[in-house]
Amino acid sequence: MKSTISKISLGLAGAMMFAAPAYAESPDWVKQVTRMFASKQTYPSTAQMRGEEGTAKVKVYIGADGAVQKAELVAGSGSASLDKEAMSVPSKVGHVPAPSAGATTITVPMTWKLA
């Protein structure tokens, strides 16, 4: 059986596009937070076996202290497995650097692509 190498890619540029007009936070903060989410993102084995790829967008509510308060799926990836993983990432992160402008939201695109 041929081994498949998978690659997880988080659209940092896409996150910056979403963040720039909508958030009072600096691009550096958005980039740092997006990277924190990327570090916790995994590729579900069931999705890999099925050859599922896609991008899910998750809106994350962040408290003034940086605590992740809740998350909601704002655009599905087309895969239930990938969407479930996308929704689990914010709780894996739990806490980010405190936003300078107080409580905020950020929409994070999470992409899964088989290499």
Please state the three-class secondary structure of the chain as a single string: CCCCCEEEECCHHHHHHHHHHHCCCCHHHHHHHHHHHHHHCCCCHHHHHHCCCEEEEEEEEECCCCEEEEEEEEECCCCHHHHHHHHHHHHHHCECCCCCCCCEEEEEEEEEEEC
pLDDT at residue 48 in the model: 96
Q: What pLDDT does 12 receive?
A: 39
CB hemisphere CA count around 106 (13 angstroms): 37
Contact status, residue 33 vs residue 52, Cβ threshold 8 Å: no
pLDDT at 11 over 70: no
pLDDT tier at 8, thresholds 50, 70, 90: very low
pLDDT band at 23 (very low <50, low <70, confident <90, very high): low
- Give the pLDDT mean for 86-112: 96
Domains and CATH numbers, the chain: 7-47+56-114 (3.30.1150)
> Which range has the worst mean pLDDT, 7-21, 77-91, 96-110?
7-21
pTM of the model: 0.78
Say how far apart CA 65 and CA 103 lie, in whole Å.
8
